């Protein structure tokens, strides 16, 4: 079944305008050309990316996923041709010339379809969990990691070392909400991850874009940042307009209540940046009342708490 492109709606089209060709012209595929080719240095548990010839890699016979959606693979292959492989796969070394996929078989298949001769990969050389954990943590603590490399390393710690977000935050000496927000970057579309990785987009821009759930709108917001040079504040203002336009916080005034002052409207506007559900406020003539906030996930609470910590509201 073919996928039909989703429209943005008249309101969003008016806010965002037409997609600009300027943004696409600024993008070049990620090739990891600065990374070593497997076999050019002594065997070790690598926390960095190596480039491995495709023919040296084999599928994992214990891979639980046996079938892959062909259309989705073709879409991913087209994205890789345009943007490069943004998130490397993970393999384990079987011999000096053979590697087996641990995670990323779908990306490997798409790279093959895209005609790549080399694929970027993290290499696990042994089953020593403690050594692997140390290697990944050491890699995270490097100062020159881009945001996507950092997020992928966080996910590797969780998946390959069987750590929870709380345990990972403890290992890294960071707040759990910080870990959560970095991992959220991996939910962005490939185009946005690409621009974040190569420095065309800042983490502040990416966090603002995550305020919108629609992937097509996220991509168009990214294009606007590149084409029009939007600052983080300008982008946040645009995202707020989209949020309030789609899901305006409701000021529910029932019989016997006084009309809400204008300051309550500003409060609801701020709260609407973090919570996607309606927010109801009840207030009597003396100024006493209640405010009810409904939320969809722990992530909404985490974003709100981080904003409080950073004194953003």
Cite the active site residues: 105
Q: Please list, in sequence order, all residues whose beta carbon lies within 8 angstroms of the beta carbon of residue 151, skipping any fewer than 6 positions away.
A: 182, 183, 185, 186
Q: How far apart are the first and last CA of the chain?
A: 45
Q: Which of 122, 128, 173 lies closest to 149, judged by CA?
A: 122
Phi first, then psi, for residue 303 (nearest 5°) are -65, -40
Strands 279-283 and 98-103: unpaired
Percent composition of the chain: helix, strand, coil (DSSP 3-state, to 5):
50, 15, 40
User: Cα 119 from chain centroid?
Assistant: 21
The C-alpha angle 210, 154, 310, rounded to 5 degrees, equals 50
């Amino acid at each position: 079944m073919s996928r039909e492109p989703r429209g943005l709606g008249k309101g969003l089209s008016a806010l965002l305008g037409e997609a600009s060709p300027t943004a696409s012209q600024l993008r070049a595929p990620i090739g990891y050309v600065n990374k070593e080719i497997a076999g050019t240095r002594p065997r070790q548990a690598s926390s960095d990316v190596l480039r491995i010839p495709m023919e040296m890699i084999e599928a994992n016979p214990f891979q639980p996923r046996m079938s892959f959606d062909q259309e989705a693979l073709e879409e991913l292959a087209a994205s890789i041709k345009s943007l490069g492989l943004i998130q490397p796969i993970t393999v384990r070394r079987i011999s000096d010339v053979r590697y087996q996929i641990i995670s990323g078989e779908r990306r490997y298949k798409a790279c093959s379809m895209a005609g790549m001769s080399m694929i970027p990969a993290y290499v696990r050389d042994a089953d020593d969990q403690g050594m692997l954990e140390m290697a990944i943590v050491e890699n995270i603590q490097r100062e020159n990691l881009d945001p996507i490399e950092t997020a992928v390393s966080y996910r590797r710690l969780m998946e390959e070392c069987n750590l929870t977000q709380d345990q990972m935050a403890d290992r890294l000496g960071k707040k759990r909400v910080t870990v959560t927000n970095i991992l959220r970057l991996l939910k962005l579309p490939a185009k946005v991850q690409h621009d974040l990785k190569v420095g065309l987009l800042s983490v502040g821009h990416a966090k603002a874009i995550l305020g919108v759930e629609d992937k097509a709108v996220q991509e168009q917001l990214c294009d606007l940042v590149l084409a029009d040079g939007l600052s983080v504040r300008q982008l946040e203002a645009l995202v707020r307009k989209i949020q309030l336009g789609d899901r305006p916080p409701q000021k529910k005034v029932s019989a016997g209540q006084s009309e809400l002052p204008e300051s309550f409207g500003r409060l609801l506007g701020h709260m609407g940046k973090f919570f996607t559900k309606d927010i109801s406020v009840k207030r009597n003539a003396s100024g006493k009342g209640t405010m009810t906030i409904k939320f969809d996930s722990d992530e909404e609470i985490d974003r709100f708490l981080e904003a409080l910590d950073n004194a953003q509201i």
